[in-house]
């Protein structure tokens, strides 16, 4: 792949990330940063030539330049018919495949399955004792191996795959191997991430790819909750303190208006930066910081799609991203609902692990359906933000304004067993046949 195509691929990956940030009206802090910049002072790019092979293997006899895809690198077989049809759509017959290919994007070099990418990496001596993460801006279902040992997995299709390297990984030369799987059905929801409708069902790694090292204090996540009516934004920042004790830090939050390539302070603000004192306990914690935008802060519209840039700094840790004050969000519709004295919960349905043993006696799809309607009305969504022990079985899908981790049914490990939690008011709904069926078949053994 030549340099021109390589640059287009990188820009394409970043454009997808920018679209995600714009549509969610919340801060996604995984904005690409230059290697060695204050945003990510300790990073090593993994872009370049990798050893390659189709399939899940340790014998990579070919090569490929990443970031890229097997289609761009012409690594698929490119034929249609016979066994090759099974590679394109193994669940369809010949007639269905022909119809599908005439209605959607046609790939000249299709490949569906496992693909292995491998290269040698050098971990700097200055990274000794630091937490190290593998960052892949866009890929498919991926398993990561270091020196032949699997250390992580990611099935995040619409956001960066971030996988932590084993603690205590020594500086020096190591072999990093990625096994990427773009088969449909390997994740509960596929949609356009694994179809040929929009971006094709590619296999590979797109956008920025690198290893990142962090100090004792790092920023894990930032979410923004803007309120155009109140003229402010609340930043919820998740910190990670890997030190031996609590840390007293000064958190700087800066807001500015991004207009094209220029960045200017918000109107009616003499100083767009604000400082907050925060005590971070050991482990993961969340701090909330409110910043006034001013009464004259520009708002988003289709004629003036204003973006606000928010930067959070805590020591050497920095996170930067964009948000909008009011872009097609729940608050826009919740206002009219309040005037009608109607409660707008703001949730968008359910995501159900339909194959989970706890639901074996309760037929369900992976999404909300008729049998869930009255059960959900007689229950609540429990906010599980920060609860890493909770394995959510039935998840309430929150709106993009709040974007909370909601659970209706979840479980936690306790000793050698598991404890099942349910927030449905089954007593209030006991007259309903679906409630009786759920209680008898799912909660009573």
- Domain residue extents for the chain: 3-24+35-76+111-214, 217-323, 350-443
Q: Domain 217-323 adopts which CATH fold?
A: Immunoglobulin-like (2.60.40)
Task: Quickly state the pLDDT bin for 31 (edges 50, 70, 90).
Answer: very low
355 or 151, which is more confident: 151
Q: Which of 79 and 107 is assigned the larger pLDDT?
A: 107
| Choice between 306 and 259, residue whose per-residue pLDDT is larger | 306
- For 374, the token pair is 């009255």
Kindly tell me if the per-residue pLDDT of 29 is higher than 50.
Answer: no
pLDDT confidence of 18, banded at 50, 70, 90?
A: very low
pLDDT for 374: 83
The pLDDT score that the predictor gives to residue 33 is 29
Q: Is 15 helix (H, G, I), strand (E, B) or coil?
A: helix
> Do 3-24+35-76+111-214 and 217-323 agree at the fold level?
no
pLDDT of residue 429: 79
pLDDT above 70 for 32: no
pLDDT for 2 beyond 50? no
Mean per-residue pLDDT of the chain: 77
Q: Can you name the CATH fold of 3-24+35-76+111-214? A: Jelly Rolls (2.60.120)
What would the pLDDT profile of 223-234 be if each residue is shown by its tens digit? 988 887 788 889
Condensed to tens digits (0 to 9), the pLDDT of residues 42-90 reads 899 999 999 999 999 999 999 999 999 999 999 976 544 334 544 444 4
Choose between 23 and 320: higher pLDDT.
Answer: 320
Q: Mean pLDDT over residues 303-331, rounded? A: 76
Please give the pLDDT value at position 38: 36
pLDDT band for 435, please (50, 70, 90 cuts). confident
- The confidence score (pLDDT) of residue 34 equals 31
| Least confident span in 19-23, 177-181, 315-319 | 19-23
pLDDT of residue 344: 62
Whether this prediction's pTM lies above 0.95 is answered by no
Q: Using an 8 Å Cβ cutoff, are 169 and 123 in contact?
A: yes
Distance set, CA 320 to CA 31, 43, 161, 338 (Å): 7, 16, 18, 34
Which 3 state secondary structure label does DSSP give 351?
strand
| Model confidence pLDDT, tens digit, residues 238-288 | 999 998 899 999 998 888 776 543 444 444 343 446 889 999 999 999 999
């Amino acid at each position: 792949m030549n340099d021109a195509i390589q640059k287009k691929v990188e820009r394409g990956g970043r454009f997808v990330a920018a679209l995600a940030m714009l549509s969610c009206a919340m801060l996604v802090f995984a904005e690409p940063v230059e290697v060695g910049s204050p945003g990510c002072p300790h990073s090593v790019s993994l872009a370049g030539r990798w050893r390659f092979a189709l399939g899940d293997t340790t014998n990579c006899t070919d090569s490929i330049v990443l970031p890229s895809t097997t289609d761009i690198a012409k690594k698929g077989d490119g034929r249609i018919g016979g066994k090759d049809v099974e590679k394109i759509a193994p669940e369809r017959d010949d007639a269905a495949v022909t119809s599908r290919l005439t209605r959607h994007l046609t790939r000249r070099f299709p490949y569906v399955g496992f693909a292995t990418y491998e290269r040698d990496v050098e971990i700097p001596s200055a990274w000794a004792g630091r937490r190290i993460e593998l960052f892949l801006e866009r890929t498919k279902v991926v398993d990561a191996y270091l020196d032949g040992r699997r250390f992580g997995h990611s099935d995040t299709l619409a956001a960066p795959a971030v996988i932590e390297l084993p603690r205590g990984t020594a500086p020096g030369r190591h072999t990093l191997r990625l096994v990427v799987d773009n088969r449909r059905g390997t994740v509960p929801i596929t949609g356009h991430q694994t179809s040929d409708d929009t971006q094709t069902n590619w296999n590979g790694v797109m956008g920025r790819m690198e290893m990142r090292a962090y100090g004792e204090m790092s920023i894990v996540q930032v979410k923004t909750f803007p309120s155009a009516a109140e003229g402010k934004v609340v930043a919820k920042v998740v910190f990670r303190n890997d030190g031996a004790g609590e840390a007293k830090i000064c958190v700087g939050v800066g807001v500015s208006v991004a207009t094209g390539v220029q960045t200017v302070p918000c109107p009616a603000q003499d100083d767009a930066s604000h400082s907050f004192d925060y005590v971070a306990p050991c482990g993961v914690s969340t701090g909330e910081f409110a910043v006034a935008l001013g009464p004259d802060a520009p708002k988003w519209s289709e004629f003036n799609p204003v973006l606000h840039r928010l930067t959070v700094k805590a020591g050497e840790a920095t996170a930067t991203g964009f948000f909008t004050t009011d872009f097609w969000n729940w608050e826009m519709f919740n206002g009219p609902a309040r005037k009608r004295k109607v409660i707008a919960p703001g949730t968008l349905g359910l995501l159900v692990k339909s194959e989970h043993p706890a639901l074996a006696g309760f037929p369900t799809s992976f999404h909300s359906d008729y049998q869930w309607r009255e059960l959900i009305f007689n229950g609540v969504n429990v906010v599980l933000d920060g609860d890493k022990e909770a394995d959510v079985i039935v998840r309430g899908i929150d709106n993009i304004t709040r974007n909370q981790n909601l659970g209706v049914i979840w479980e936690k490990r306790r000793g050698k067993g598991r404890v099942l939690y349910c927030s449905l008011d089954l007593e209030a709904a006991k007259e309903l046949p679906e409630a009786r069926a759920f209680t008898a078949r799912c909660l009573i053994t």
